[in-house]
Amino acid sequence: MTVPSPLQRLSLLLLLLALLLSPAHPGSAGEAPPTFLSATLTAPSPRGDPLENLGRLYKNDANDYLQELWLLGRYHGHYHWSQGSAGEDEGHEVRRFRLGAQAQLLHKLTLHAQMLSGSDLNPFYNGFTELWVQWGFTPKIALTLGQQKHRFSHDRNISSRYIHYLERSMLTNMFAADYTPAATLQGKIGPVTYYTGLFSNATSRQIDEAFTQFDSGYSYLAAAYINLGHRLRTETAHLHLTALHSQANENATNLNRFDNGLSTALILTQGSAALVTELTAGLGSDEGDAYGLNIQPSYYLTDNLQLALRYQIAASNGPLGLQAQSRYETPAGLPRGDLYQAGYIGLNYHIAKHRLKLMTGLEYATMGGESVWTASTMIRFFFGPHSSGPYPMNQILHGHFLD
């Protein structure tokens, strides 16, 4: 298959944007609250946005059969330059390209299908990243069946549409959590939003294999967000807790490094500032246990311009228990080791909130006596319903300057 050129990719992106900026169906006026919990239902925007419903083809709450129909899409492209003490690497990558649709029916049923492309659109069709059905029993409890996202840790739970960095943290990526067939239950009890499920430990781009060959072991996840209100004297405060057990075998492609995982995160916002602090542990690996601290301060200088910082430190009791970021640090010569540190500074410009943004970053990482500097520039664009949850899910804070 011929891989589209960068110009063809850009043309496709602009064409999709032009199509989706056309007026919505007349039935889409107004914004109703979600009728039940969902990881992908529209979350209300406190600030308003003319592109808030980008991708919505139909909305009519009075229709008892079809309430909403969305077109889904995501394009993430980046260029990185990595210069290390033991090597160097640079290159452009179409990191994510996805297309799909989502429908809400019968006021309780959601159908979701989303295909993905391979790296650099090769191949263009590389199976489905998500293919699930969800039933909302009540406004506070829903069951989801099918191929879906594994949500271990707050860092992993945040959709790539909203993350502030080139990649998630090193230790998060070491867990190798991906989209797999699963049965999950989510709901809300008072200030607690919970999520739990049983997942297959293998991903296959052949959907018939993914849904019929359950020979890779399984993983069990339990997670909860606790809304702390104003107890910490901040505008918002949430505590996130997750526990993971993975029973992987030789056929597993996901979650086959650690037998158990634990994470806890404190998520705070105040004015233009936010702070996410997360502790993560991976236990039961043949290469050693791993422990990590991930600190993510961010600050909105204006309503569109964000300063994003991050500090990571991870340690292992095995001499080769940690693995650097595989997309840019490992190719630049950063070896495996038992102590990893990285610092990141970036500026992100939100052209249309999280719908369309330009991002830049500079990161310095060390491990095993070697070091790597990585500079990156990114474009991220998506259409479809927003996801809801604690910061930074579908949230833009007010800028300090030129508010």
- Rounded CA gap, 115 and 127, in Å? 6
pTM for this prediction:
0.86
Q: What phi-psi label fits residue 402: left (phi over 0), alpha (psi between -120 and 50 degrees) or beta?
A: left
Residue spans of the domains in the chain: they are: 61-383
Higher pLDDT, 46 or 125: 125
pLDDT in tens, 306-344: 999 999 999 999 999 999 999 999 999 999 999 999 999
Range with lowest mean pLDDT among 92-96, 175-179, 206-210: 206-210
pLDDT at 18 over 60: no
Mean pLDDT value of segment 124-144: 94
Q: What percent of the chain has pLDDT over 90?
A: 76
The residue among 91, 56, 92, 96 whose CA lies nearest residue 75 is 96
pLDDT digits (tens, 9 = 90+) for 272-295: 999 999 999 999 999 999 999 999
- 175: helix, strand or coil: coil
Tokens 């050129």 -> residue:
5
The CATH architecture assigned to 61-383 reads: Beta Barrel (2.40)
46-50, 54-58, 87-91, 149-153, range with the lowest pLDDT:
46-50
Return mean pLDDT, the chain. 88
The pLDDT of residue 251 is above 60: yes
